[in-house]
Amino acid sequence: MQKRRPHWIIISVMLATLCACEKSPQFDALAPGATVLAFGDSVTYGVGANSGEDFPTLLAAETGWNVINAGVSGDTADKAKHRIGALLAKHQPRLVIVELGGNDFLRRRSMAAVKQDLRHIIDQSLNSGATTVLISVPALSVFRATMGTLADAPIYAELAEETSVVLVSDLFSGVLSDDNLKADKIHPNSRGYEVFTAGLVTSLTTAGLLL
């Protein structure tokens, strides 16, 4: 993706990923053509944007990786834990990017239950030999959504600390806190996915996964 981004987008991405980048573990960079599994829900699938503007497609264009979009609209961590194993076996990815939990929160599932399901997904990914990246999802808050100050659910930082996976924090919350970057209350728009991808690239670069 060769588009020149406005300065405000670059600044917002740097601020959104600063905390995560400072604490990210270091890994060997993935070569162009490496298989990456983007595993998530409708945000991974790309709801809210036009075809080809989802973050896995944008990430592939930025990196040269073979990024597989394994996003399922409406998926929950509870359901997704049953499909991760087959995908890992089929694609044998070097890297897995996990973006899940939003639909669980909308269904008012407990944080403890969602955390347990996400841990199961992370454990399967790590056991397959894949480096794993966890994208924090905003906690459900009508007040914060109205004020444009969404914040990550705390279970993501806890999981990253406990499992030593790369955490991309504050990015998703930041995008959904900006009306100019979202198609609806829970999905980015085309520009939002561009900002999302740029922030993800920053985190991956700082973690050493991308040169």
pLDDT in tens, 42-55: 999 999 999 999 99
**DSSP letter assigned to residue 164:** -
The pair of structure tokens assigned to 115 is: 């955390």
The pair of structure tokens assigned to 210 is: 């991308």
Backbone φ/ψ region at 189: left (φ over 0), alpha (ψ -120 to 50), beta: beta
pLDDT score recorded for residue 145: 56
Residue with tokens 């109205």: 146
| For range 158-168, the mean pLDDT | 97
Tell whether pTM > 0.85.
Answer: yes
**DSSP letter assigned to residue 185:** S
Per-residue model confidence as pLDDT tens digits over 8-27: 444 444 444 444 444 545 89
| For range 169-181, the mean pLDDT | 95
Question: Please, what is the end-to-end C-alpha distance for the chain in angstroms?
Answer: 16
Q: Identify which has the larger pLDDT, 52 or 5.
A: 52
The pair of structure tokens assigned to 136 is: 């924090």
- Measured CA to CA, the distance from residue 46 to residue 49 in angstroms comes to 6
| For range 167-184, the mean pLDDT | 95
- Measured CA to CA, the distance from residue 90 to residue 39 in angstroms comes to 13
Amino acid 194 reads E
- Measured CA to CA, the distance from residue 198 to residue 9 in angstroms comes to 9
Amino acid 81 reads K
CATH topology of domain 7-206: Rossmann fold (3.40.50)
Q: Is the pLDDT of residue 32 over 80?
A: yes
Residues 196/121/57/160 CA torsion (nearest 10 deg):
30
| For range 176-195, the mean pLDDT | 96
pLDDT score recorded for residue 6: 44
Per-residue model confidence as pLDDT tens digits over 105-158: 999 999 999 999 999 999 999 999 999 999 999 997 664 655 667 999 999 999
Q: Where are the domains of the chain?
A: 7-206
Per-residue model confidence as pLDDT tens digits over 67-111: 999 999 999 999 999 999 999 999 999 999 999 999 999 999 999
